[in-house]
Amino acid sequence: MPDRSGPILDIDEPQEITSAASVFTTAVHTATGAAAGSADTLRPQTKPASDLDRMMCDQLGWVRSTFEAAARSSAGRADDVVVDALFGTSALENTDVDNGSRTRYESI
């Protein structure tokens, strides 16, 4: 019988963990969608008429593309949270089923 005198890891049920990760990911997708939508509304009201207007429109284009890139990046990282939660809880659940065998830190 394995030695159970060491520290005990007390975690929520795997379904609770993955559910919380899913809620977080959905919230990030909602926020990044709103940010991308806001960036899309940043458009000049009139056609640029001067060199200064054209330079400002170029800067506005940079702002829009930066917002859109950040939204895509955040959405991708949020998706990683769900994947990591699934792998981590699976590793811990399998360790529990295996009667407390060791789990490599890298797999959590």
pLDDT by 10s per residue, the chain, length 108: 555 566 655 566 778 888 888 999 999 989 888 877 887 788 888 888 899 988 888 898 898 888 888 888 888 888 898 888 888 888 777 776 666 556 555 545
94: tokens are 């399998």
**Structure confidence at residue 26 (pLDDT):** 92
Instruction: Give which of 12, 36, 21, 11 is closest to 77, Cα–Cα.
Output: 21
What's this model's pTM, rounded to 2 decimal places?
0.61
Nearby residues of 99 by Cβ (< 8 Å), 6 or more positions away: 2
